Structure formats: C-alpha cells, structure tokens
A and B are shown apart, each in its own frame.
Chain A
Amino acid sequence: MKNILVVEDSESTRSMMRTIIEDLGEEYQVFEAGTGFEALKILPTEGFSLIITDINMPDINGIELINFVKTTPQYKDIPMIIVSTERSEEDKKRGLALGAEAYITKPFSPEDFQEKIRLVLSS
C-alpha cells in the first residue's frame, strides 16, 4: 500500500489529483489536506510514501511545510513533490533547495503527473 498525502487548498484541484493518482492502481491511497495545518495534523497518523504540496496556501505555505518535513527525523525520508505555477519559479527553487525531490508545473497533464509520481516513488 502506498499512502500519498496531497496538500492543496483548492478543493477541485485536490480531487482532480486524487482521481489521477487513484488511476495509477489500487495500491495507491490518497489522503487530502486542504491547508498546511491539516497536513501537520495528518502527518503523524499514517506512514506516508509521498507528499505532494502546493506552494501558496492560507496558513503555512508549501515552502514551510517542506522545511518542516525535511527537518523532522521521522519524516525527512518521505519524498516530496512541489506543485508550482509558472509565476512561482522562485518558490520552486527554494522548495528544491530545502530538500523536495521534484516539482511539477501547473497546468499539467494526468500522464505527466502520474509519470512524476512513479519516478519519485521508484528512485
């Protein structure tokens, strides 16, 4: 079983990502967090194989979440994918510098997204 945490404040984007991930196969289970705070709460409750996070969110942003995950011993090995937009180029760089494994730029095709997930999980 692969548990994937999707952190994204837009509900529609979130459920779209869920659908795309679930299409990868039955062993993928998606958990959703609508804010950074929610993500912090869900983190200790499950063992996650992957975290996918948006950058701009209302409470704590994706950069701060990445920093938190990558500096916490029990989480630091969970790979992370940044979902960024063309306009958040700078933020993407910072996220990668803090230890995120990959990024994908919105808008993306379902295939690209799935490919990215497979790639990160297999490495």
Chain B
Amino acid sequence: MNSSKKEFISEAEELLGEAEEHLLELQESAETGANPDTVNALFRSIHTLKGISGLFGLEGLKYLSHAIEEILDSLRLGNIEVSDDVIRFLFKNIDILRELLEKTEQGNDFDVTPYLEDIKVFGRKTSSRQKQESLSGVIDEAIISVLSNYEEQRLRANIKKKRAIFTINAVFSIEDFDKALAELTEKIKKQGELISILPTSENMPPDSIGFKLLFASDKNPDSLKSAIGIAPEQITGSKPEKATVRKPQPSLKSISTTVRVDIEKLDGILNTIGELTLTKGAIKRIEHELAGIYGHSELVFDMHRASRSLERRLSELQQQVLEIRMVPIGQIFSRLAQIVKRYSQEIGKPVNLTVFGEETELDKFIAEEIVDPLMHIVRNAMDHGIESPEERKRRGKPERGTIRVKAFQRGNNVIVEIEDDGRGIDMEMIRRKAVEKGIITAGKEIDDTELTGFIFRAGFSTKEKVTEVAGRGVGMDVVKNRISSIGGFVDVRTEKDIYTRFSLTIPITLAIIKSLLIRVGINTFALPLSSISETLIVDRDALQSIEGKKVYNLRGELLPVMPVSDFFEIGSQTRESGHHESRYIVVSGYEERRVGLLVDELIGGQEIVIKSLGGYFEGLKGVAGVTEINRHNVILVIDVETLTEEILLRHKGLVHV
C-alpha cells in the first residue's frame, strides 16, 4: 500500500472516531435536546470522509458516506428529529463504513447497493415530518434579530415541542442588577427553559437597566406568575404558520486549510530550535569576548544587533512551534466522558460528568501523558468515591453522583481538578493502615493533610475486605509518578461525605524551560526555574542542626533544609575539616511543602532543553533529565519534586511541616 493511501486510511479512521464521539454526545443529551453544534460537527466529519473517499476513487465509500450525509443534513435542518432510532441507525452505519474501510485496506472495493437501499428507506420513513418552521410571524422580528444562532435553534426546538414562549420585562438598578437577575433566572429555569436575556435601555430611568427575558414553558401564565412573581407575556401559543426557511450555509473551509502533521516531525523542529538556542548562546559569548578585545567598535555593535535579532526571531519561532503543538484539553475530556458513560453502566452507578475549561490548551505530548492518570482518578472516584444510588438516597444526596472536571491556566501551568461528590477519603481508615504498615505510631498526632498524602505511597492500599474490593489508594502512586515525570504534581483535598478533589498541576509545555544553574562541589546542575520561589545567601546564625538535620530560620519560620550533595552522595566544597561550606539556599515549593536546597554556588539563569536520560538510566531518582550547556558540557537537571519529598521525609516530626 502506498503512503498516501495509508494516510487516507488513518485520516478516515480518525474521522469515523470523531463521528462516533459526536454520536455519543448526541445520545447523552437526548433528554435535554440535541446540541446543534454537535449535529453540525457530526455532519462535517462524514462530509469530509465523503470528500476524501472521492479523491481516492473509492466509489463504495463515497456513495455510502454521501447517503449518510444526507440523513445528517436533514437532522441538521430539523427535518429529522434526533431519536434513539436515528442514533442507533447512525451507529450501525458508521460500523459499516469502518468495515468497508478495512476491506479497502486489503485492497478491495465493493458493492454498497444494498446498504444504500437501507439508508434510502430509513430516510423516507423518518423524514416524513414537517419542515422547519419559520419564526417570523410567530415571534417578533425585533427579538429574532438579536438572538444568536444557537438561541434561535433552542427557540425553534421549544416551539416544535409545542411549548409556549413567554417574555418577562424587568428593571433593575445598574449597580446590582446581576444578583437580582440571577434570582429571577433561577426561578424561570425551574418553570421551563430560559432561552435569552436581552438587555435594553429604552424608556429606562437613569442608573437603571431593563431586561427582556425570553423563555419557554408548558405551564399556564397564571401559575408562572405566582411562581416567578412577575406576570409573563405569552408571545406564542397558536400554531406557527409554515413558510420557507433560511438555510444556514455550512462552512467547509477547514478541509482545505488544515494540515495534519505527525507530532514527531514537530519534535524534530523543536530539537533543531533547541540546538539553535545553544548556538545563540555561543554567539552571545563570542560577542562578549569580542567586546572585551575590540571595545565598542562598529563591528562589535553590528554583531550585537545581529545577535539580538537572532535571539528575537528564535524565540518567535519557538513560540510558533509550541503553539502548533497545543491542543485543547477538551479532546481528553471527551475521552473521559466516554469512559464515564460506559463504566457507570457497567458498575450500576449513575454518574454525571460535567467539564469546564475545555478550551484550555496544553502541549500535545503532555496531554497524552495525563490521559491515563486522569482516567485512573476518574475510575477511582466512580469505584470508591461515589456511593451506590441507595446509599446516596439514604444520605439525602441526589441519586446521580457528579464528577466535575475543570481545567484552567495559572501562569505556566494548567491546573486540572477532578472532584466527586462522594463519601470522601476515610481518614480513620488511612490512619489505621498507616499504623499497621508501621509508617506512623499509634496515637501519634497527624493532621489530615499529611494523612491524605499517604495514599500516594506505593502499595498503600486501604483495603476493606467486607464492603469493597479495593480502597482508594490503589495505583495512586502510579498517578503521582506519571505526573511528576512531566514536571507536575498532585494534590488532594477531601471532606468526609462531601467531596474528594484531586488537583493536578501540569506544565503547559515541556520543550524549552528557564533554569537556574547551580554548583555543588565540582558538579553543575540545572534547576527548573518554575519550581524555585527564591534564593538566599546563607546567614550562618539562621542555619541550625537539630538531630543532624538542618533547618533554616526563614523570616521566623523553620525551613527544612538539605544539602544537594547529601542527596546525590557527592562531595561538596570541603574547606574546614570536611564541613559543608554551602553558601546558598534555593527555596522551592510553598506552604507545607516549602523546603530549601543547600548549594555551593548560584551560577545564573539559562534556557535549557531537557532531554531524557533514556534506556539504562531511566528513572534515576532525583534526576529529571540531562541538558547541554555552553561548550558541549552535559549536566543533570534536578527533579525538584523528588528532592522535596526526600527532605520532607527526612525532617518528618522535626519541623512542623
């Protein structure tokens, strides 16, 4: 098979995958009404498939996808309604397309006539419904013209369901309208579907703002008046008259402007940029040396200008490539949604998954790395966090559990939170287990934050034989390791019977990072700047040793400190009879995870490209990777997170951490 055909197969598979995802979405939202965006996206996937099948002369695939596309077009325009039947039919046909695709892979084309016949019959059967009604004549043109496309679709859908459309006018002071409006919309939503809120200034007293709220409901005006407190005006009720429909123009532009690129090629470009960054460093060094020799001559000045320009362009180029690699995290969320849907049926616990911040972007590589940890956390939440419907009912919770997944950007990180409204983590059980395992002694005072931290330990499973197969804690160490391998960390908060929330803090991109170069003995290391909060010159009086462990008085608080040389068991500077002469402290982390690393020298900041140690050295403790600095000098990049753990462990009980 030639390579372009291979590419066709992989793209076609991707399109079918997308189509299936959209179908799943449609199925989920069947009760609340289909989202027109989803229907449109589904239509486009199949439309694109038709297009590329035609390009490759695969007549069978082309005709079949064309027939399906027609069904989807009717769906999009509202001539066919989304129903279980339609969804099942579409799932079946996507399966058929996939089967045909497999045959194509083996090199056969085939006769699709019987399938086409089926689709035609189905189309005739279902689309005998009425045409989409025009809204003009039913709803005031002035209102329609200020609705967004989506709102208009919702309006249409409600009219189709024979619900009456109402408006309510309300006037509030400009100062605090949002609170009053929120109360009002809350009341309206209990009576039906709120379609649109239109602000208006017409005939308003100064410092006031008016709103026209458009909503649909099947209740009568009198009961609405008593429920909402304001008398609504009914603007429909009689059957809408038929007229021609304004047909939305489908945009197919994306087909011709998008290029699909293998992520490895982008990796290649980034690598080259990395090398160029090193060259840039060399040029800057030469520039300095030239300035030293020739002073500020014309030539040196030219050199300076050229290197400045190189620097700027290089960082632009780097930024552009990083942007190409960015994907919205929503891609992962939709995979999570599928898992939740399937798994919740499997284990018989109804669960709602709500997601926020799908548009948050992060590097494709990192996105792929966090999929498994996210799945793990979500499955864990469904297994152990969310109670059975019966138990939830007893506790006065809604029978459906809720898992909220939220992503947002903070500085150079993306925070992903996964929160379930289940029973929370049982602190007593963890305490018992920790005592059992000999991690803590019985009766010892330990706060909950530290206790929850135990679930990330390898083999720390709080198994309760009678009621559960496995407790929360199984495999959580794996989650933590995966996240920390990409330079992130995991935090967990919980409250008994209320919630458990995991927060993953993940760097947006891996590629090129700013670092601080430090020296310990004869070794140079790089520390990622993102994990450093400050650096200090050691004040001898403030550095103390307690039971052989060092603590530092940092503005009145005790900071646990460890020489980096201790961790790597390498020599530090030895001047006075083997005593450490480390002169600087690098402070990392915050609050209870704030620690200090003792180093001999701070060399300076540098942009580095982290490369994995690979093969034999993979997983070396405390090392995040290697990097090349000036003049072919290869140094280790310290995994600050692991060192932090080690310090906290060594200082346990000594300092209140």
Contact = CB atoms under 8 A, between A and B. Distances in A.
Do A and B interact? yes
Interface of A: 10-12, 36-37, 40-41, 44, 55-56, 59-65, 67-68, 71-73, 75, 86-91, 94, 97-98
Given A68-B201, A97-B145, 10 more contacts: A12-B409, A36-B199, A40-B177, A41-B174, A62-B148, A64-B196, A72-B201, A86-B254, A88-B148, A94-B148
Interface string B332-369: 00000000000000000000000000011000000000
Nearest to B198: A64
A63 B148 contact: yes
A21 to B, nearest CB: 19
Interface string B27-60: 0000000000100100000000000000000000
Interface stretch (B245-253, B482-490, B553-561): B245-253
A90 B149 contact: yes
B178 A41 contact: yes
Interface residues of B, number: 31
Interface in B112-158: 145-151
Contacts of B253: 86
A117 to B, nearest CB: 22
A88 B91 CA distance: 28
Contacts of B409: 11-12
Given A65-B199, A72-B201, A86-B251, A40 B151 contact: no
Nearest to B37: A87
A67 B198 contact: yes
A118 B416 CA distance: 38
Contact of B198 (A11, A44, A56, A60): A60
Interface in B620-651: none
B196 A40 contact: no
Contact of B147 (A41, A59, A63): A63
Contact of B209 (A40, A59, A67, A89): A40
Contacts of B181: 37
Nearest to B44: A87
A61 B251 contact: no
13 contacts: A11-B408, A41-B178, A44-B207, A55-B148, A59-B197, A60-B197, A64-B146, A68-B201, A86-B251, A88-B148, A90-B149, A97-B145, A98-B146
B604 to A, nearest CB: 28
A10 B359 contact: yes
A64 B200 CA distance: 9
Contacts of B150: 56
Count chain A CB atoms within 10 A of each CB in B147, B201, B209, B360 and give the residue with the most: B201
A22 B359 CA distance: 25
B431 to A, nearest CB: 40
Nearest to A37: B178
Contacts of B148: 55-56, 61-64, 88, 91, 94
A123 B304 CA distance: 41
B569 interface: no
B151 A94 contact: no
A68 B197 contact: no
B126 to A, nearest CB: 26
A73 to B, nearest CB: 8
Contacts of A71: 200-202
A76 to B, nearest CB: 10
A46 B196 CA distance: 27
Contacts of B147: 63, 94
A48 to B, nearest CB: 15
B248 A90 contact: yes
Interface string B168-208: 00000010011001000000000000001111111000010
> What 10 pairs across the A-B complex have the smallest Cβ distances?
A72-B201, A67-B146, A68-B199, A90-B149, A37-B178, A61-B148, A60-B197, A63-B148, A91-B148, A64-B198
A20 B196 CA distance: 32
Contacts of B37: 87
Contact of A60 (B174, B199, B207, B251): B199
Contacts of A87: 37, 40, 251
Contacts of A59: 197
Contact of B145 (A12, A61, A62, A94): A94
